[in-house]
Amino acid sequence: MKFAYKLSASAIALAMMTGMSFAQDIEIKNAEWWQEAGKKFDGTTLRGVTESTPASNYIADVLAPKFEELTGIDVQIETTSWDQMYDKAIKDMEAKTGIYDMVYIEQDIVYAYLSRNFLVDITKSLNEKAELKAPEYSEDNFTTFAENFRGSDGDLYGVPMEAFIKVYLYRTDLFDDPKIQAAFKEKTGKDLKPAKTHAEYTEIAQFFTDYGKENGMDLWGTTAQAHTGHPASWYEYFESVAPTFGVYDWGIDANDNYAATVENGGTMNSPEAKEALKWWLSMRDIAPPESVQSTWTEVATTFAAGRAAQGLVYGENAAWIATDESKSRVVGEVGVALPPLEPGVMEEAESGKGYIGYYDGGAFGLPVTSKSKDAALLFMQFMALPEIQEDWAAAGSRITLTSTYDTPKVKEVDKELGGYYSMLRDDGKLFKGAPEYPFHRQVIEATAPTFYEILTGSIGPDEGLDMMAQKAEEELKNLGYRK
């Protein structure tokens, strides 16, 4: 298995800069069908809300105008911050105001939405209204990531629109510098190369933080998504770091009465969990000073600014960091590898018993409160057309249809990126989304305050994880999950 891939300046950069031209260049098969289907919705305006990500911005800037040109249906996509997106969507669905016809559903929140019956069953709706089903649309073409948006009946409740893994980025200009290689060799007795273990990662991180100080550089050894009051830090630990130490599904065992404490059969406060947290905190302490206020966005900008030698970064940012000179100072100098792991974790991931990191992404869901459900069903299918995906993948570093991997443009871009898309295709199975918990937000809200106290030093990591595991079980008992 190939563990490291190098990103270079490529067609992705061109795609990002010229994305608006795609609206005119996309050739839609069966265009007459779409024109006819749109006639009955003349004058309709669809409204959607989504997080401002590369994939979402492509929808707003390229796909929505193309869809309107084709069908006459106006589509207004509101792109905003993650917390604003979540707040607006859930308040609209709770109040049943019907403001939005489409809402972005992140992989980790869909189970809560399903438990509250917020979403329309897309599979069922299209089966019942055959006249609305587009000729080129097929659920069978979705990658396995779509399984995250299916209900217990197997039906689809969201159309995947972005999918990516959280990868280990490193600066190739630093790792390949003969002078730096010699200094690392002299200090550690080892060759400088991307880390396979946490011990190796630590050694590299400490070296570069020291190297930056010694040479008067704004350079640190690692990134850290360690905001002291934002759930991004909670997610970094539980979904990206803990699994690399063998702690899965937040340390909660759904098959053992939703146990979280070691005493009751869980692993949230296990020795492995405590080791993972202490390791992560030690990395935060030698990361750039802004790390204590960094969410997923700031981690990406920190790396793009050249302030870190390595780090864990969401894959949706990897392409622009490596290719977009208007945003990044490390264009053509970014390598990608799998995260560092403890012994045995890779074997558990390959056997299906565990995973090595977070497989993130989202879908567009159709709220049951929408006032234009049929028109929205058309647009959601439009987003899943094979002919749409090729340019979208190049522009947004995301793939949701299996057929997209074999398209000419993606194959060519993949070569120029040293196998970036191949990594997503071949190694994506080693990563996993958030556990299928309908109590997602409740557990975070119950445990996050204690987690923030650990980050600020008010509580020690061992004591803090013990408290968090206990609080998780108490919340699950209050909710009726734990007996």
- HSE-CB at 19 with a 13 A cutoff on CA atoms is 25
Does 110 map to a domain?
A: yes
C-alpha span between 432 and 1 (Å, rounded): 18
| pLDDT at residue 83, as a whole number | 86
**8 Å CB contact between 459 and 453:** yes
Residue 218 DSSP label: S
Does 137 map to a domain?
A: yes
Buried/exposed code over 444-468 (b: 16+ C-beta within 10 A; e: otherwise): bebbbebbbbbbeeebebeebbbbb
Residue partners of 396: CB distance under 8 A and separation at least 6:
53, 54, 55, 57, 58, 162, 316, 319
- CB neighbours (10 Å) of residue 434? 21
Does 75 map to a domain?
A: yes
pLDDT in tens, 394-408: 777 789 999 999 998
Residue 398 to residues 54, 56, 403, Cα–Cα distance (Å) = 9, 11, 13
Please list the ranges in the chain whose pLDDT falls under 50.
1-24
C-alpha span between 119 and 125 (Å, rounded): 11
C-alpha span between 57 and 43 (Å, rounded): 24
Residue 362 DSSP label: E
Burial class (CB in 10 A: 0-12, 13-18, 19+), 277: buried
Residue 150 DSSP label: B
**8 Å CB contact between 441 and 404:** no
Residue 72 to residues 160, 359, 364, 378, Cα–Cα distance (Å) = 24, 36, 21, 12
Residue 392: give its domain's CATH number.
3.40.190.10
C-alpha span between 160 and 190 (Å, rounded): 43
E strands of 111-248, at which residues? 159-171
Name the residue among 440, 437, 421 with its Cα closest to residue 143: 421
- CB neighbours (10 Å) of residue 31? 11
Name the residue among 430, 168, 197, 194 with its Cα closest to residue 313: 168
- Domains held by the chain: number: 1
Residue partners of 408: CB distance under 8 A and separation at least 6:
390
| pLDDT at residue 14, as a whole number | 39
Residue partners of 322: CB distance under 8 A and separation at least 6:
7, 8, 9, 12, 328, 330, 331, 332, 333, 334, 417
User: How large is the angle between the packed helices 408-416 and 386-396, nearest 10 degrees?
Assistant: 20
Q: Decide: pTM greater than 0.75.
A: yes
Does 89 map to a domain?
A: yes
Say how far residue 10 (Cα) sits from the centre of its chain.
Answer: 22
Does 154 map to a domain?
A: yes
Does 300 map to a domain?
A: no
Residue 140 corresponds to which tokens in the numbers above?
């069978």
Note down the domain range covering 375: 15-164+361-425
**8 Å CB contact between 298 and 289:** no
Name the residue among 413, 380, 300, 383 with its Cα closest to residue 121: 380
**8 Å CB contact between 394 and 200:** no
Residue partners of 215: CB distance under 8 A and separation at least 6:
none
Does 128 map to a domain?
A: yes
The sign of the CA dihedral 174, 197, 168, 51 is negative
Does 469 map to a domain?
A: no
Name the residue among 462, 434, 416, 102 with its Cα closest to residue 278: 462
Name the residue among 286, 283, 254, 281 with its Cα closest to residue 268: 254
| pLDDT at residue 417, as a whole number | 63
| pLDDT at residue 7, as a whole number | 38
**8 Å CB contact between 29 and 136:** yes
C-alpha span between 319 and 394 (Å, rounded): 9
